[in-house]
Copies of this chain bind each other. A is one copy, B any other.
Amino acid sequence: MSLDRMIERIAKMQNPTVAGLDPKLSYIPGYIREKAAKQWGEHTLEAAAAAILEYNKGLIDALSPIVPAVKPQAAYYEMYGWQGVKTLAETIAYARSKGMFVITDGKRNDIGTTMEAYAAAHVGTTDVEGEAVQAFGGDALTVNGYLGSDGIVPMLKVCREQDKGMFVLVKTSNPSSGELQDQILENGKTVYATMGQWCEAWGKELPGKYGYSGVGAVVGATYPAQLGELRRALPSTFFLVPGYGAQGGGAKDVAEAFDSNGLGAIVNASRSILCAWHKTGAAEEDFAKAAAEEAVRMREDILSHIGQIRL
């Protein structure tokens, strides 16, 4: 149930990582941008969206045999208008057609019927004149719990019906995450620890076969002590771990997020994979090959700290 398909792919591929697809037009090889500009006009959102889709497909082709999941970040698609959002939908469909698990990183949050609409949009289906139609069709969605359980319960319902999952922001990787998240509440626990406990409780509604529920938590690699503390406190909550690489988290740091079977977390890298060819000096036509090589390096780096992954 829920995140089980992701967990099975992680174990099968012996790779607890997810490739963030956060494309900016300026990251993309010139030959792809020029082709799109010729077709759609140089300064158009259509051209940007077309170039990003081609880039993403190249990355997915190269990464899908190695990496179990992708995490498109909605912001980078919205920034290119509805045209970019169309590319988001097409990217999700393409990744799923290659067997990848898709985590849509939208950090969505609202209440009641509005949260139901987000759930329908991203992991469910929408009623259109009596027929259930898929809008974006991701496998899991990141969500923000500031509004309390009214913002999560509608997701639980859709995830249960559709066998999908979610990741709730708990302790984020950014420097200012502590402003609110590290504050101590009346229960003597921090905001992030409390949010984590809620994930554990919400997760009881979405039990999984491997001991982890469909309600995961986002916990940054940049706070290894908190990662370890949360891993021990939240035995049924799977972690999505951003902040490896560019933001400063190393493999030793992220190792804290895993249990003794090498399960319990999936570590994200975005720019280091997306833009690997910038760094290696590879020919731009080899962007996908460079991404795959970086993905293999990252897997080896993390596995060297956690050992074999056992279901």
Taking beta carbons and an 8 Å cutoff, which residues of A are in contact with B?
Answer: 22, 24-26, 33, 37, 42-45, 47-48, 73, 75-76, 78-82, 84-86, 88-89, 107-112, 114-115, 117-118, 120-122, 126-131, 133-136, 144-151, 169, 172-181, 183-186, 191, 194-195, 198
Interchain CB contact (< 8 A) of A43 among B80, B112, B129, B144: B129
Q: Contact: B79 with A120, CB < 8 Å?
A: yes
Cβ-defined partner of A144 (8 Å) among B88, B127, B146, B183: B146
User: B108, A180: Cβ atoms under 8 Å?
Assistant: no
CB neighbours (8 Å) of A145 from chain B are: 146, 180
Q: Are A42 and B129 in contact (CB under 8 A)?
A: yes
The answer to whether residues A135 and B185 also contact, given A75-B110, A147-B177, A180-B191 and a CB cut-off of 8 A, is no
CB pairs A–B below 8 angstroms (11 shown): A24-B117, A25-B129, A73-B114, A78-B136, A79-B121, A82-B86, A82-B88, A85-B85, A109-B144, A112-B174, A148-B176
Q: Is the CB of A174 within 8 A of B147?
A: yes
Q: A42-B129, A48-B126, A80-B128 are in contact. List 10 more A-B contacts (CB 8 A).
A: A25-B128, A43-B128, A43-B133, A78-B135, A79-B135, A112-B174, A148-B174, A148-B178, A148-B181, A183-B191
Give Cα A232–Cα B118 distance, bound, in whole angstroms: 34
Q: A122-B78, A128-B45 are in contact. Are A176 and B191 (CB under 8 A)?
A: no
Chain B residue numbers with a CB within 8 Å of A118 are: 75, 78-79
Stoichiometry, as copies per complex, reads: 2
Choose from B84, B110, B148, B176 the contact partner of A150 (Cβ within 8 Å): B176
A126 touches B82 (CB 8 A): no
User: Nearest residue in B to A26 (C-beta to C-beta)?
Assistant: B127
How many Å lie between the Cα of A37 and that of B130 in the bound state?
A: 13
B128 pairs with A47, CB closer than 8 A: yes
In the complex, the chain B residue whose C-beta lies closest to that of A88 is B82
- B-chain residues with CB within 8 Å of residue A89 when the two chains form the complex: 81-82
Q: How far is the CA of A45 from the CA of B191 in the complex (A)?
A: 40
* Contacting residue for A79 out of B126, B130, B186, B194, CB 8 A: B126
Tell me, in angstroms, the Cα distance from A191 to B183 when the chains sit together.
9
Contact indicator A179/B75 (Cβ below 8 Å): no
Whether A135 pairs with B172 at a CB distance below 8 angstroms is: no
The complex places the Cα of A128 from the Cα of B165 at a distance, in Å, of: 34
A173 to B198 Cα, complex, angstroms: 20
Q: Which of B48, B128, B148, B173 contacts A177 (CB 8 A)?
A: B148
Are B177 and A150 interface neighbours, CB within 8 A? yes
Measured between beta carbons, the chain B residues less than 8 angstroms from A81 are: 89, 121, 126, 133-136
